[in-house]
Amino acid sequence: LNLLDDVQVQAIIGAQTSMEANLLAELGEEAKVPVMSLSQPSPSPSPSNKYPFFVEITQDETSQIMGISALIKKFEWRDVILIYDNTKYGRDIIPSLVISLQEKNVYISHKISFATSSRSEQIIEELQKLMQLNTKEANVEVRELSADAIWAYDATWALAEAIERPCTGLDLPNDINNTRPSGHGVLLLREILEGRFKGLSGETRCLNGKRNSGAFEIVNVIGKGERTVGLLPCVVGNIKESHLLHNKRKLISTGDLETIIWPGGSTTVLKSSKTQLSEVKLRIGVPVKAGFKELVRVDHDLQGNRTYVTGFCIDVFKAAIGALSYKVHYEFIPFQDANGHSAGTYNDLFHQVYLKKYDAVVGDTTITSNRSLYVDFTVPYTDLGVGMIVPNEKENMWIFLKPLSADLWITSFCFFVVTGLVVWLIERPINQEFQGSPSQQIGTIFWFSFSTLVFAHREKLSNNLAKFVVIVWLFVVLILNSSYTATLASMMTVKQIQFNSKVNSIGYQIGTFTKGPIDLNFKGLKQFIHSEEEYADALSRGSKHGGASAIIDEIPYIKIFLAKYSAKFSMIRTKSTTNGFAFVFPKGSKLVHDISRQIETLREEGKLLEMEEAWFQSKTTL
């Protein structure tokens, strides 16, 4: 304020922080004095957009981000590691860089930051950890080099050249006007914005209050030496406006750069792990199953010496891997012995991935916490949990008699007859409605008794004793009627299965994780189920004849079974105690993330459901 009021300066160079920049921007706007800021441009709206007298002399982050993205695109890297300084500038620029890379479908596998005070030993230790991961990603280093002195030098020369231009016509020491605001600031600002100068940082212009260098110099560092391999044109814009990323011209063509010498003296461009996937054929292990072949089916063509692998799991995998932005070659290898039978358990199959004999496993492979210690799973592509299958109850036309026992039915019938007979004996001498021919009187006895069930009797009683008998009988009828109705409704709407651990047995499929997650407190657990046919046979025989009263299995297996035998069996309850089926990859495989994303897309678009309906469609067997 003293400089503005007493010395009456005509320009200000400074503002190393965003807070200082905002303060000086307001002062410069009020006094109509150009302010040349040395602070790093912020990702948030720049003061130059609001204050015309504010000029950013440092480089805009947009050009740097687009330059990095263009280089990554040129080398066709699809997965990278970001290494950056843990400073305010570094933390501010990384989110914008991540957005730019994501729009180019580049996967960021790791992000590592170093404090400016980090010792060389600490940096080397972190880099050695990366080497232990055996990754082949490109390392992208974002550093804030200390160039304050260079920016200040260039700003001073830019201001001096603007003052000395003949078109400015300023003689600052003798031409200072005491009236504020001064018109000299407007002329000086125009010369700064329209001028072009060459400083230590290169040829520069400050269009629209922002620095716009001609190009970045791309330097190939070789040991302690360096060589220039090309120039990268600068682009000014907002990195968060994605349309700029698509509408801008191509920054680097394949012929723009000279040959780059990579670490080790090689001139061959480092290829990312995803690019390398397109050059090799993945060995995909598949289980060999005796049943439930709708999930995975292996057929051998002996004449053509070929093996065909089909099924729901196979179709999901093909759809997911075929939707990737890069090509992946693969072949299915059945996990079988010389006789064509399964070569081991599912855990044995998983172990082949751990030993790197297989690059992946595709099939009805369940996610478990123990398996996750040795391999990586994609997101599940089937329903979670297990269910219980039981035989349907046979329909009985005499079900209406079951609410009451036989003894109670006989007793109730006798009371009907006795009540009608007692009322007839009391009312016959004095009531004409209970008189008549013998057949009429017998009919009246039975009619009166049964009509009381619905309280529809029409005969008038004259004797109070008969009325008392009827009142007692109606109370009994009300109790019988309510009990019968409630019991019958319960029997017809609710299927209740009561298992006796001494006489009932529960079956589950060999090789699945049904027994472990479920604690049903049954003593009769039997592991004998291999296929849908054995499901039906065991349930039909029942526990008394060497079968099972119910079967517990994962939901996908039950869906396949009920598609064939829904007329005889039903699923009565489910529990979310398993994690569903997923594809298996080695630890650290980049395909896990990409395949998982494609599975989620298939689920959102309804294609997973379509494939499930195609393979699990109803094939009812009566």
Domain boundaries, the chain: 2-58+147-213, 278-384+583-615, 388-393+497-575, 399-493
Q: Residue 292: helix, strand or coil by DSSP?
A: coil
Phi-psi sector, 577: left (phi>0), alpha (psi -120 to 50), beta: alpha
| Residue among 298, 326, 328 nearest 313 (CA) | 298
Which whole-number Å values give the CA distances from 180 to 9, 35, 176, in the listed order? 11, 16, 10
| Residue among 424, 431, 464 nearest 448 (CA) | 424
Answer for the pair 59, 202: CB distance below 8 angstroms, yes or no.
no
User: Which residues of the chain are modeled with pLDDT < 50?
Assistant: 168-181, 236-254, 495-503, 517, 519-523, 620-622
CA distance 138 to 107: 11
The per-residue pLDDT for 447 is 75
Tokens of 583: 């594809």
CATH number of 2-58+147-213, picked from 3.40.50.720, 3.40.50.280, 3.90.1150.10, 3.40.50.2300: 3.40.50.2300
The per-residue pLDDT for 238 is 43
Q: 429: how many CB neighbours lie within 10 A of its CB?
A: 10
Tokens of 126: 């972190």
pLDDT in tens, 541-585: 877 777 787 888 888 888 888 888 888 888 876 777 788 899 999
Indicate the pTM of the whole model: 0.53
Answer for the pair 41, 64: CB distance below 8 angstroms, yes or no.
no
CATH number of 278-384+583-615, picked from 3.40.190.10, 3.90.1580.10, 3.90.550.60, 3.40.640.10: 3.40.190.10
The per-residue pLDDT for 289 is 83
Answer for the pair 268, 262: CB distance below 8 angstroms, yes or no.
yes
The per-residue pLDDT for 79 is 78
CA 484 to chain centre: 52
| Residue among 331, 368, 325 nearest 598 (CA) | 325
Nearest-5° Cα angle at 367, 363 to 373? 115
Residue in the block written with tokens 């053509």: 304
Common-topology check for domains 278-384+583-615 and 388-393+497-575: yes
Residue in the block written with tokens 């996990």: 335
CATH number of 388-393+497-575, picked from 3.40.190, 1.20.1740, 1.10.10, 3.40.50: 3.40.190
Residue 456: is it exposed, middle or buried by C-beta count within 10 angstroms (0-12/13-18/19+)? exposed
Strands (E), 223-322: 225-233, 281-287, 297-301, 306-310
User: CA quadruple 320, 326, 329, 335: dihedral positive or negative?
Assistant: negative
DSSP state of 385: S
Helix (H) or strand (E) holding 496: none
Going by C-beta distance under 8 Å and a sequence separation of 6 or more, which residues neighbour residue 426? 463, 465, 466, 469
Tokens of 216: 């970045």
β-bridge mates for residue 85, sequence order: 114
Tokens of 503: 């006489």
CA distance 252 to 69: 10
Q: Residue 132: helix, strand or coil by DSSP?
A: helix
Residue in the block written with tokens 């005796």: 290
Tokens of 239: 């990195």
User: CA quadruple 585, 587, 591, 594: dihedral positive or negative?
Assistant: positive
Answer for the pair 216, 179: CB distance below 8 angstroms, yes or no.
no
